[in-house]
Structure 1
Amino acid sequence: MKVVIDEDKCVGAGQCVMAAAEVFDQRDEDGIVVLLDAAPPESRRAPVEDAAVRCPALAIEVLP
């Protein structure tokens, strides 16, 4: 699995961090998403996909 984020779309809602803190974080200065692991293991697929669904700006894409 590969995770791609679009920082330009991110609105800093933090839903991704609440869903998958081991994969996503937020910058302190503006709350924009920080990708901690662009290729997380399959065991993290469910929370990563949940984060993508929760994102109000649709800034997260999960690829096979």
Structure 2
Amino acid sequence: MTDHPFTDADFRKSDRSGDFGCVEAAITHHTPDTIGLRDSVHPRQTVLCFSPKEWTAFTAGLNKL
């Protein structure tokens, strides 16, 4: 398995998610301009990467739900 920038990242889950599976987000010192997003149920699978502009658009869309 190869290392990626989010290997040792401190992913955080929303307080609103409760005990159910959710997504987790992280920013690391390796990639300060990239936000990583992963599935909390399957944390070793794919990490989606967002630029700050993409992250802002993504979270703005969530706030409209």
TM-score (norm 1): 0.32
TM-score when normalising by structure 2? 0.32
Larger Rg: 2
Which has the higher relative contact order, 1 or 2, with Cα contacts under 8 A spaced 6 or more apart? 1
